[in-house]
């Protein structure tokens, strides 16, 4: 028992040191390291950047030319139109498009999808707002919808299932050809938005449905049946992983879909036109996706720890330009290289890729393995010299062989065998 307990003590110690020592190291060694903010100038027809350094932030173009703030704002008029309007420098039109303040405000698009939004704990209860109450403002309903192997509505105040309404929706789902259970659902359960898009839901077969409540009645449609003939096969083949619904003033984009092949799609217009976002290396588990739109273009940027990629689309979602840039990942900075040489492995329990806790290991470089070997040889020599090289020392030996520096700390601190 005592040998098992000692071994377990060393194993637990390794886990704790592999978590806390690197965390402490990064507390001291972390420097400001932000990816660039990518813009697209509709006047210069090229990408512009807001780059961060340790000391300051600089504005530059793709050729490295640095701009002062006023100049930068002038060549990005649609991103800074309010400031330009205030300064009286907003042009009347660009490329034949009139820059009216109301249109500039209305046509702005903004979406952000983070990896943890796709994989996060949730409760299968959500309010289904009425998209057409006849009132000026959206109102919260009094019940929550539970959509799983059936559809049910629960009245929040009384905590009782509303049988009649649930049956009404159940039959509407069946009439629309929905196959229970629902597998993916996305909506924006808020009243602070210009209108209600409802929910996009994937059924057991992966088919996508659009659900809304209109004047108290269910409105559920299979999206492929609403799409144009050329989009229909794409909708039938689509296997959604995540629906991002975020109502915008111009009501152009119904939702952004990330499918199971890591392809992101816009769903646009009355015919639910399915537009692939032409990013080449978007990984939804590791990268944030940001969409910014204006009167002339849509700029989509995917940013990860070591890579940023951007595409510009016109108002018809045709590709205008693309940009990509490798970034220096934290592990590749001098501090990161030192960490990978000192620590043979690092354990984190939280990660940007998920809202769930888990075990997220990172492994050190070959230098760390060499350090492990050297420390192990030194320990064996020391034990042999003191005539203590025996099986009872196996926990220390294994800890140093696996954990290097961690093992040495444990060998010093933890109880010795008899």
Partner 1 sequence: MFKSLLYKEWIKLRIYWLLLFIVNLAFCGFLCLRLRHVFRINEAMAVWSNWIFKGYLFYRICEYVPLLLGVVLGCLQFFPETLSKRLRLVLHLPLGESRAASIHLVAGLLMLATVYLPGLALIAVSSSLYFPPDFQANLLLTYTPWLLGGLAAYLLTAFTVLEPTWRLRVVYLLFSAALLRLFFLEDFYNSYLRIMLSLTICTSLLFVFPLLSTYRFGKGYGS
Cβ atoms of 72 and 326 within 8 Å: the answer is no
Cβ atoms of 119 and 353 within 8 Å: the answer is yes
Query: Minimal distance in Å, beta carbon 94 to partner 1?
Result: 40
Report d(CA 44, CA 294) in Å as an integer.
16
Query: Minimal distance in Å, beta carbon 354 to partner 1?
Result: 8
Cβ atoms of 265 and 275 within 8 Å: the answer is yes
Query: Minimal distance in Å, beta carbon 209 to partner 1?
Result: 22
Q: Does position 144 bind partner 1 by CB under 8 A? A: yes
Q: Between 226 and 409, whose beta carbon lies closer to partner 1?
A: 409
Q: Does position 192 bind partner 1 by CB under 8 A? A: no
Query: Minimal distance in Å, beta carbon 13 to partner 1?
Result: 7
User: Could you tell me where the beta strands, DSSP code E, fall in 260-392?
Assistant: 264-268, 273-276, 288-293, 297-303, 307-314, 319-326, 345-348, 360-363
Adjacent-strand bridge partners of 325:
308
Report d(CA 194, CA 204) in Å as an integer.
31
Q: Does position 52 bind partner 1 by CB under 8 A? A: no
Query: Minimal distance in Å, beta carbon 400 to partner 1?
Result: 18
3-class DSSP state of 390? coil
Q: Does position 181 bind partner 1 by CB under 8 A? A: no
Which residues contact residue 220 at a Cβ distance below 8 angstroms, ignoring those fewer than 6 apart?
169, 172, 173, 176, 178, 209, 210, 211, 212
Among 22, 115, 127, 293, binds partner 1 (CB under 8 A): 127
Among 189, 206, 269, 278, binds partner 1 (CB under 8 A): 189
**How is the beta sheet containing 319-326 ordered, strand by strand?**
109-113, 288-293, 297-303, 307-314, 319-326
Q: Between 120 and 205, whose beta carbon lies closer to partner 1?
A: 120
Q: Does position 122 bind partner 1 by CB under 8 A? A: yes
Stretch touching partner 1 by CB under 8 A, among 90-98, 167-175, 321-329, 348-356: 348-356
Q: Does position 414 bind partner 1 by CB under 8 A? A: yes
Report the interhelical angle of 405-413 vs 366-385 (nearest 10°). Answer: 30
Among 32, 56, 96, 159, binds partner 1 (CB under 8 A): 159
Query: Minimal distance in Å, beta carbon 298 to partner 1?
Result: 28
Q: Does position 126 bind partner 1 by CB under 8 A? A: yes
Query: Minimal distance in Å, beta carbon 130 to partner 1?
Result: 14
Q: Does position 146 bind partner 1 by CB under 8 A? A: yes
Query: Minimal distance in Å, beta carbon 246 to partner 1?
Result: 14
- For 9-60, the DSSP string reads HHHHHHHHHHHHHHHHHHHHH-----PPEEEEETTTTEEEEEEE-SS-EEEE
Tokens 């929550």 locate to 144
Q: Does position 2 bind partner 1 by CB under 8 A? A: yes
Give the tokens for residue 112. Answer: 């952000």
Stretch touching partner 1 by CB under 8 A, among 5-13, 60-68, 81-89, 296-304: 5-13
Q: Does position 319 bind partner 1 by CB under 8 A? A: no
Q: Does position 216 bind partner 1 by CB under 8 A? A: no
Q: Between 43 and 354, whose beta carbon lies closer to partner 1?
A: 354
Q: Between 137 and 270, whose beta carbon lies closer to partner 1?
A: 137
Q: Between 115 and 127, whose beta carbon lies closer to partner 1?
A: 127
Across 178-187, b (16+ Cβ under 10 Å) vs e yields: beeebbbbbb
Q: Does position 358 bind partner 1 by CB under 8 A? A: yes
Q: Does position 218 bind partner 1 by CB under 8 A? A: no
What number of other Cβ atoms are within 10 A of residue 399's Cβ? 26
Give the tokens for residue 88. Answer: 């009286």
Among 124, 281, 283, 324, binds partner 1 (CB under 8 A): 124
Q: What is the DSSP letter of 150?
A: S
What number of other Cβ atoms are within 10 A of residue 137's Cβ? 7
Q: Does position 261 bind partner 1 by CB under 8 A? A: no
Question: How many residues are recorded in the chain?
Answer: 418
Q: Between 357 and 378, whose beta carbon lies closer to partner 1?
A: 357
Among 140, 214, 377, 381, binds partner 1 (CB under 8 A): 140
> Phi/psi of residue 341, each to 5°?
-85, -35
Q: Which residues bind partner 1 (CB under 8 A)?
A: 1-2, 4-6, 8-9, 12-13, 16, 19-20, 120-127, 140-142, 144, 146, 154, 156-157, 159, 189, 349-350, 355-359, 413-415, 418
């Amino acid at each position: 028992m005592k040998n098992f307990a000692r071994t377990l003590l060393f194993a637990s110690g390794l886990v704790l040191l592999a978590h806390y020592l690197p965390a402490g190291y990064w507390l001291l060694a972390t420097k400001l390291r932000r990816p660039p903010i990518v813009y697209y100038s509709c006047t210069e027809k090229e990408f512009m950047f807001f780059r961060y350094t340790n000391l300051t932030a600089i504005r530059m173009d793709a050729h490295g030319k640095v701009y002062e703030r006023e100049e930068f704002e002038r060549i990005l008029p649609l991103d800074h139109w309010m400031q330009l309007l205030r300064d009286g420098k907003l042009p009347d039109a660009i490329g034949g498009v009139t820059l009216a303040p109301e249109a500039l405000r209305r046509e702005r698009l903004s979406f952000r999808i983070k990896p943890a939004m796709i994989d996060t704990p949730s409760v299968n209860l959500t309010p289904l707002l009425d998209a057409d109450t006849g009132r000026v403002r959206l109102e919260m309903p009094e019940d929550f919808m539970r959509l799983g192997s059936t559809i049910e509505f629960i009245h929040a105040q009384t905590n009782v299932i509303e049988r009649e309404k649930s049956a009404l929706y159940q039959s509407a789902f069946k009439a629309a050809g929905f196959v229970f259970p629902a597998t993916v659902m996305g909506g924006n359960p808020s009243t602070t938005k210009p209108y209600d898009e409802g929910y996009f839901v994937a059924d057991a077969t992966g088919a996508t449905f659009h659900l809304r409540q209109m004047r108290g009645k269910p409105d559920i449609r299979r999206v492929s049946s609403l799409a144009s003939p050329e989009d229909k096969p794409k909708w039938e083949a689509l296997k959604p992983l995540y629906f991002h619904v975020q109502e915008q003033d111009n009501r152009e984009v119904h939702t952004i879909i990330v499918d199971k092949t890591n392809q992101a799609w816009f769903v646009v217009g009355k015919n639910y036109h399915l537009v692939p976002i032409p990013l080449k290396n978007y990984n939804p588990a590791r990268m944030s996706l940001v969409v910014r739109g204006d009167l002339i273009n849509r700029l989509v940027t995917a940013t990860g720890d070591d890579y940023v990629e951007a595409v510009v689309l016109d108002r018809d979602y045709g590709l205008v330009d693309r940009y990509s840039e490798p970034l220096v990942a934290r592990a590749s900075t001098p501090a990161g290289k030192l960490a990978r040489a000192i620590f043979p492995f690092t354990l984190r329990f939280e990660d940007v890729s998920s809202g769930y806790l888990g075990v997220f290991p990172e492994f050190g470089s070959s230098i760390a393995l060499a350090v492990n070997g050297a420390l192990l040889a030194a320990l064996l020599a020391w034990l042999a010299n003191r005539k203590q090289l025996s099986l009872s020392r196996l926990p220390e030996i294994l800890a140093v062989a696996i954990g290097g520096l961690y093992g040495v700390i444990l060998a010093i601190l933890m109880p010795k065998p008899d």
